Every structure is written in structure tokens, then in C-alpha cells.
Amino acid sequence: MARKAIPKAAKPIIKAVTAQEGFHNGIQSLATSEGISEAEVRARVKQCLGEIVAIPSERFRSFAGYISKTMVSLGYESPVICDPKQLESLRELMKKHPVALLWTHKSHVDGSAVIATLHENGFPMLHSFGGANMAFAGVGYSGRRSGIIFIRRSFADDNCYKFALRQYLGYLMEKRSPFSWAFEGTRSRIGKLMPPRLGLLKYLVESAAATGTEGLRLVPVSLSYDLISDVDDYAAEESGSKKTQENFSWFMSYLKRLRSPMGRIYMNFGEAVAVDAPKALRNEDNDLYRLAFQVAVNANRVTPITMPALVCMALIGALPRALTMQQLSDQVLALAAWAEERDITLTSSYSEADRKQLESVMELMVRRGVIKRHENGLETMLGFNEQNHSAAAYYRNTAVHFFVNKAIVELALMRVAVSQREDKQALLYEEARWIRNLLKHEFYFLPTDQFEQEIKTEIDKVDPKWETAITADSESPVPRILANTGPLVVHATLLDIIEAYLIMAKVLEKNISEESKTKAEWVAMALKFGQQAFLQRLISSNASIGRQVLDNAYRWLEGEGLAPATQENLEQLSKLRQRLERTVRRGDLLRSFTAL
């Protein structure tokens, strides 16, 4: 088969790659293992490099920056909000180390926001990745000149291709050319950062090890939005609708939807994760996953709380009631004050003076259909359409990780309050650990000992002597602690998730004879039962009725040996279902404490 001609502009880059130290030895080793001549291996590797290498052009870099800025500005205020000090720190890091920017994936605007921001601030061209199937005609030509590295979807059996890719990526790292891509696996249709997958990260770290490149830095990039045009699609998919095919007509429709005000975009850079000695990663996938997990944790830490997230959290907590503007403002400000006391980043300053800003954000949310305004009463009320609970939960979920420990504390304290056990301190930690285990597929938790310290610290802020008081024979300190802990949040943050797990447990328990079903079939059945449960008001919100959370629920139950249901595990499944019901009731009771 005739080999494709290598683009002329790529030849100097290929020449530089093949001149690297270790390249010739690699060719020799590959020739021996493949059983072919060195000349043939070299020719194949050069052909592969011709497919892979990007051909940076300043003209195309500027054009990509312009197009990206234009796309971002269709629906968002310009520029993207980013701390200049963080940008300068990143600039210095890029001078000293090879850097990969891994950004949290929330919208189709993500990549454009990153490119536009770094281009406007004079950063070098970012090298990103695309599928080789997209490198056709003008797309391939302009993409390569804009820094895109087009790679095959599958090349597990092509050792020459793998060698070429590793050598090229190693060459770019040596030249301090930064990389950028959407952090695989973290994209979520429910707002939370999902567990990462290795993918491109594995290629990059393996390339660093193969070429002797040290000092690689993985920089988490948190992208946050006031509002996101994709959320309606996400909510529909979560409730069971088929994913819309992403083609040209879809793209034009997407651009049209962007042409309405959606507020601002916020970009924050987390602490870089060092890969100083890639060759020392012994247990490959486990070690790599630990790196990926740390990148995700660091991204979560710098994700700010947006005003729409707090608005949706407050309104979800009030369900099924709507709130007056005054009530909603009071709750948002109380949540913000709690976060500020803990040095959690907020996208805006929140105080009495900012009520007008809050009102303007809520106006945007009304226009986008996220919340509904009711004006037929004596006062204007704000709430949700029933079909919008999932969209509201998406925005809530972008900040929910900051409130998880507080919500767990509330549930654990309620467990202590209703228990007759004497070892109440031990019971509190036992309940907290159980909830942590229950939600391990939903959130990034620290190891158990550190988690328990976080729980202790959270209660210490309210009552430093709680451990002594809770074990005394005198009056229980739980009501006092709950009263002074700030705004109660469990009903606004975790209740719909726990209800989803309860839905799945009930579905399994009622269908003990259907062991042959697949996980997807169980999730589909739970979606239907969830709709029924919501109509019967057995659950508080249809945010519990989502593919992702029900999938996680099944996975957790399966890990506990309770899915699918069998005669052997039915008793344990029934006990678990009852415990979930008690937990939900305690959450509902906490909700009643906040009712007017």
C-alpha cells in the first residue's frame, strides 16, 4: 500500500523528533521486537508522525483565539473572569516545566473559554487533541495549524504508532509546549465532577517516561458558569430522553441558543500535581489514577460557588414551596455567609448591599426558564416548574461538594438525637462513615481518618466541647448544635440523592425474580418507578429521577452484594431499604425545621 505524502510543513518537526536522544535506540528495539528491518520501522514511524504532528502557525493561532472569543461572547460577558495572579503563576510554571492543563468539562464552550483567555493574555499556543476521523479537508488543515494533535481512536496493536506518539509528545514536553484538553470522565450531566478516566493522561505520562522527560505538571482548570445553555439537554437525557446527535445542524442550533445573556464564566487554576519521576510509577494504572484523582480533587477545591448555585440550593430546600424574593435573598445570603466563614471561594461578594445583583441574576434565571416567577399573589414568589427540578439540581450540584460534610453532620446529629444508645460519640462517627460509604460514588471523599477529622472540625466550630457534652447524662446538646450550625442544608443537598438510592433499593426488592436484567434495564425500571413515586409525592423532587444517580445507586448496591436481589440477600436488602427510609425521614424532619 502506498504511503501518504507527509506535509512539507511537518518535515522540520519530524526531523527534530527523530533527532532526539534515544530515538535511534528505540528504533533498534522496535525492529527486533517486530521482526522487521530498522529502515522499515523508521519509515513507518515517520509516516505515523506525519499523521500526528501539529504544525503551529501564528496566523492560525490568532484566528483560533478570535473565533474562540467570538463564541464565548455570544452568551457571556467578556472577558472570562480569571485572577491575574493565577495567570502569572501559570506563566512562570510553563517557563520551568512541561505543563498540561486539564479543564473540567461542563459545556461545549469550555475549550473556547480556555483558548480565548490564554490567547488574550499572551500565552504560547496550546496543543490539544482531536480524533483522526475529524482531520478531513479544511478541518485537518486549520486544526493542525491551531495546535491540534489528531490521533487515531484505536492503535493498541500498532507499536510503531505508539512509539511515534510517545516520541512526539516527549519532544513537545522538552520544548515546554503546553497541552490542554477536557479532563476525561469528569464531564457530568448532573453538575458534579465525576470520577476521572485515564485516556490522554496515560499517553502523556507514558510518553514522559519513555523519553526521560521529568518535571511534568498537571494543572487542574476549573471552569464555572452562571448559566449553561447545555443544561436543558442534560436534564432531558438524565430523565430518559435520547442524546441529541451532534452534527452540523445541531451545532448551528447550539450557537443560536448561545445568543442570549447567561452571565459570566469563571476560570480558576488549582494546585499543580507534579509528575517528577514518571518512570517511578510502578503500578501503572493505580498510580496514574491516583494522579488523576488528585487533579480532580484540586479542581474541586478551587471551583467557586456561583449565585445561581445558591439560588437553586435554597429553592430545592424549600420544595414543594415557593419563596418570596425576601425569603430567597435571606437564605442565599445565609448560605453565602456560611461559605465565607470557611474561606470557600465565591464568584461575587454576598452581603445586604448585593441584593440588587442577586435580583439581576434571578432575572436571568427566570428568562432562561431555570426558575419560575409567580405574580398572582400579594407578593411575587419564586420557585420551579416540576419539570425543572433536574436543571435546578444541576446548578446546585456545581457547589454541593462544599456542603456535603455539613449535611452529613446534620444527619449524624439527628441519628444521635433519636437513638437510645449510650455511646453517642461513637454512634455519630459510625453514622457519618455509613453516609460517606453510601455516597462514595457521588463525591470525592478524603480517607476515613481525615474525613472524621473534617466532621469533628465542622462541629467544633459550633461547640468546641461537644464531645464531652454529647456523652454526658444531662440534656442533649444536639438541638443547640443544630440551631447554631448555620443554615440547615441536608434537605437541599443530599436528600434527593438518598431518595434515588431508596428508589433503586425498592425496585430491586420488588423484583427479586428478575436476576437476568442488565444494569441499564434496572436503571430504566427505576426511572419509571421514580416518576410514579414523584407523582405520589413519595419523594421530594424529580431530581432523584436521573440516569446517573440511579446508575450510581445500582453500582453501590451491587458493591454491597445487594444487586440484583436474591433469596440470599433479600433480608439484608430489606434492612438497607428501611435504613434509607429512616435517613430520608430524618432529612424531611430537618426540612420541617426550616419551614415558616
401 half-sphere exposure, CB direction, 13 A CA radius: 24
pLDDT of residue 224: 95
Residue 453 has pLDDT above 60, yes or no: yes
Q: What is the pLDDT of residues 83-136, one digit of tens each?
A: 999 999 999 999 999 999 999 989 989 999 999 999 999 999 999 988 877 666
pLDDT of residue 460: 94
pLDDT band at residue 459, thresholds of 50, 70 and 90?
A: very high
Using CA of residue 182, residue 184, residue 190, residue 192, what is the dihedral sign? Answer: negative
DSSP state of 127: B
Spatial distance between the Cα atoms of 146 and 64, rounded to a whole number of angstroms = 6
What is the domain partition of the chain in residue ranges? Answer: 58-152+167-302, 307-400, 403-486, 493-594
User: Cα–Cα distances in Å, from 209 out to 101, 203, 277, 466, 520?
Assistant: 19, 10, 8, 51, 39
pLDDT of residue 474: 66
CB contact set of 58 (below 8 Å; sequence gap of 6+): none
User: Cα–Cα distances in Å, from 421 out to 411, 425, 432, 472?
Assistant: 16, 10, 16, 12
307-400 — its CATH code? 1.10.10.10
pLDDT of residue 596: 41
Judged by average pLDDT, the poorest of 333-342, 347-356, 453-462 is 347-356
Dmax (CA) of the chain: 88
pLDDT of residue 527: 95
pLDDT of residue 210: 85
Instruction: Dig out the grid coordinates for 380 from the structure.
Output: 411575587
Instruction: Dig out the grid coordinates for 571 from the structure.
Output: 433480608
Q: What is the pLDDT of residues 390-441, one digit of tens each?
A: 899 999 999 999 999 999 999 999 999 988 888 999 999 999 999 999 999 9
User: Mean pLDDT throughout 348-357?
Assistant: 67
Instruction: Dig out the grid coordinates for 241 from the structure.
Output: 430522553
| Bigger pLDDT: 4 vs 569 | 569
Residue 320 has pLDDT above 60, yes or no: yes
Residue 142 has pLDDT above 70, yes or no: yes
Contact 402, 443 (CB under 8 A): no
User: Cα–Cα distances in Å, from 255 out to 56, 134, 230, 245, 594?
Assistant: 27, 20, 11, 15, 42
Average pLDDT of the chain, as a whole number: 90
Looking at the chain, the whole-number percentage of residues with pLDDT higher than 70 is 96
The class that CATH gives domain 58-152+167-302 is: alpha beta
User: Cα–Cα distances in Å, from 244 out to 84, 109, 192, 481?
Assistant: 38, 17, 21, 48
pLDDT band at residue 542, thresholds of 50, 70 and 90?
A: confident
User: Mean pLDDT throughout 236-263?
Assistant: 82
| Bigger pLDDT: 470 vs 498 | 498
Q: What is the pLDDT of residues 193-244, one digit of tens each?
A: 888 888 889 889 989 988 888 899 999 999 999 999 989 888 888 877 777 7
10 Å CB burial of residue 111 (0-12, 13-18, 19+) is buried
Spatial distance between the Cα atoms of 447 and 444, rounded to a whole number of angstroms = 10
Instruction: Dig out the grid coordinates for 379 from the structure.
Output: 407578593
Residue 283 has pLDDT above 80, yes or no: no
CA-based nearest residue to 559, from 437, 402, 400, 381:
437
Spatial distance between the Cα atoms of 170 and 210, rounded to a whole number of angstroms = 8
pLDDT band at residue 1, thresholds of 50, 70 and 90?
A: very low
Residue 448 has pLDDT above 50, yes or no: yes
User: Mean pLDDT throughout 482-508?
Assistant: 95
Residue 470 has pLDDT above 60, yes or no: yes
Give the Cβ contact number of residue 20 at 10 Å: 16
Task: Spell 286-321 as b/e; 16+ CB within 10 A means b.
Answer: eebbebbebbbbbbbbbbbbbbbbbbbbbbbbbbee
Backbone angles phi, psi at 485, to 5 degrees: -85, 0
User: Cα–Cα distances in Å, from 18 out to 11, 171, 336?
Assistant: 10, 9, 56
Residue 472 has pLDDT above 60, yes or no: yes
Sheet architecture: strand order including 323-324: 323-324, 381-383, 372-374
pLDDT of residue 92: 97
pLDDT of residue 255: 86
Residue 465 has pLDDT above 80, yes or no: yes
pLDDT of residue 3: 64
Q: Is the peptide bond before 261 cis (omega within 30 degrees of 0)?
A: no
pLDDT of residue 473: 64
pLDDT of residue 510: 93
